[in-house]
Structure 1
Amino acid sequence: MSEFVLMTDSSADLSQEMVQELGVTVLPLSFTIQGKVYRNYPDNREMDLPLFYDMLRAGELATTSAVNVAEYTQAVEPILQEKKDVLILAFSSGLSSTYQASVLAAEELREKYPDRKIYTVDTLCASLGQGLLVYLAVQEQRKGRSIEEVRDWAESTKLHLCHQFTVDDLHFLKRGGRISATTAVVGSMLQIKPVLHVDNEGRLINIGKARGRQASLKALVDKMEKTVTEEGKKTVFISHGDCRKDAVAVADMVRERFGTQDIRINYVGPVIGAHSGPGTLALFYLGTER
């Protein structure tokens, strides 16, 4: 069985420690703030994340850009030259063109390296939801599964990867066209916090609301209780927009309610955070359905 490398992009929000633990390759996506372009590496070498969120709080606008075909080709080709195959688990096509770029790069490289296998999966996931799918795919790889078996596992599992999240500042969602200006203003006045998820098309969808921050955090765990599987209770990922205290509070609720031992917490990176803003809190687990 030929060796293969799992590749993803930095919208998976995996920490540098987790990237090293898993042995995956991560392509950095780019973001622009104050007129300067930065690459979003897992070790955050180009931008300190607390600083990034402080800039957003101060009113700076951040924009993001997907990985392009050339960047994918440059990252994948050296692996193929080492006679290894590549499985790409890409950022949701419902939120970015990154997946499409991976498809085009794979098509080009298959012609150049006909003996190598290059597969790409549209995870329909984002942030640590994508990260959790990558993490679980590595566990399958370590069982000795073939590249096709891990690809098929990812395809059959991705719509069970549940994303429940809330935001603290509605104006970031308004700017991204997720909610209307009126909803943002009224919601902010009344301290109404949306509860959202990522649907089966990989898009952000509003599925509820809660009055106040604490109620919105509890609502995430309540949603989890309705769909989480026994397997899903074992490993849970939580990402946050520079609000670690809230992430720890949600982790404590999950641990108390479901007995979960393996809970990983990391930042929502700049690629997602530019659109969701400071105070974003997201909960990821395997469930019966999204």
Structure 2
Amino acid sequence: MTVQVVTDSASCLSPDQLVAHGVRQAALHLLLDGRAIPEDDDSLGEDWLSRPGLSTSGANEEELAALYAEALAESSGDGVVAVHLSGALSATVASAQAAARRSGPGVVVVDSRQTAMGVGFAALAAARAASRGAALDEVAEHARAAAASAATWGYADRLDWLRRSGRIPRTTWLVGTALSIRPVLGLSDGKLHVAERTRTRSRALDKLVELARAHFGDGETSVAIRHQQAEEHAERLAEALADRLQVAGKVDIGPVNRVLGAHVGVGALILTGIPATSL
């Protein structure tokens, strides 16, 4: 068989992408009414984001260990590469490392230091390497290289969600709310930071394009946008990016996963680019 690839739902890979590339996925969790519910649970309903006391948690060790065992059996001894959300943003990597120790040396955990499609692109790069017959260490290296070459930025329509989830300090929230700030977010060394403070959504989208253009230049770039109930704005951003970047194929647009959506809130956009050669 071949090396198997596992990721978590922060990757924001679509069901079709998971199936097409043979990637297994562990669900992160929403915490509601004192219960941890997998974010892909259909019973959550459409009002999950407005539920009082909403919080989040990562994939747990038991679930990951079971998933790794399944993947190991499928690999027939070739091993498993597990590509996960940044350890600076979630406890998922720590749970993954504990699950891997239980599973034995056949599981390699990769802390992508990324989120959203930064994780997704790394998992896809690993899966493509595995499909070509690459060995375990080589597949893991493809994941690490793709994650390192990807760049991720975001836009939050309001600061309230980031404050509630503890992703920004109270003082930033107070000042930003008073000034009607709509932040452009960046990811550096796996950690979230405010890259730009804008007053309008239009300016924020322009800034996302500027950041992507400055980072990727004229190189052919694969681009993905994930949104929280903001498909129209995602399409507008995609059109602007296509005008300024050498986009490989079409911009991949889709919804953000629920756990990330709980942190960035309604109207949010998450933009990830990666040199096409890294995939």
TM-score, scaled to structure 1: 0.86
Match status 1:29 vs 2:20: no
Q: Is the 8 A contact 1:239 1:267 kept in 2?
A: yes
2:164 match: 175
**Number of residue-to-residue matches in the alignment:** 272
1:255 match: 242
2:272 match: 284
Shift of 1:215: 0.4
1:103 match: 97
Structure 2: gaps spanning 5 or more residues: none
Aligned-pair Cα RMSD in Å: 2.1
After the TM superposition, which of the residue ranges 262-271 and 138-147 deviates more from structure 2?
A: 138-147
Residue correspondence of structure 1 range 1-80 to structure 2 within 5 A: 2-33=1-32, 37-41=36-40, 45-48=42-45, 51-53=47-49, 55=50, 60-80=52-72
1:161 match: 150
Counterpart-to-counterpart distance in 2, 1:157 and 1:131? 10
1:273 match: 261
Q: Cα deviations across residues 125-159 of structure 1 (Å, max 9, x unaligned)?
A: 11222112222332333333222112112223322
Aligned-pair identity (%): 26
Q: Is the 8 A contact 2:61 2:96 kept in 1?
A: yes
2:136 match: 147
Counterpart-to-counterpart distance in 2, 1:100 and 1:186? 34
**Matched AA of 1:22:** H
TM-score, scaled to structure 2: 0.89
Aligned match for 1:88, one of 66, 74, 82: 82
Match status 1:224 vs 2:221: no
Counterpart-to-counterpart distance in 2, 1:75 and 1:149? 21
Counterpart-to-counterpart distance in 1, 2:220 and 2:268? 22
Structure 1 pair 38–231 and aligned structure 2 pair: CA distance change class (3 A): farther
Q: Is the 8 A contact 2:185 2:196 kept in 1?
A: yes
**Matched AA of 1:244:** E
Structure 1: gaps spanning 5 or more residues: none
Q: Is the 8 A contact 1:167 1:277 kept in 2?
A: yes
Q: Is the 8 A contact 1:92 1:125 kept in 2?
A: yes
Shift of 1:36: 5.0
Q: Cα deviations across residues 23-55 of structure 1 (Å, max 9, x unaligned)?
A: 1000111112355542123xx63435x5434x2
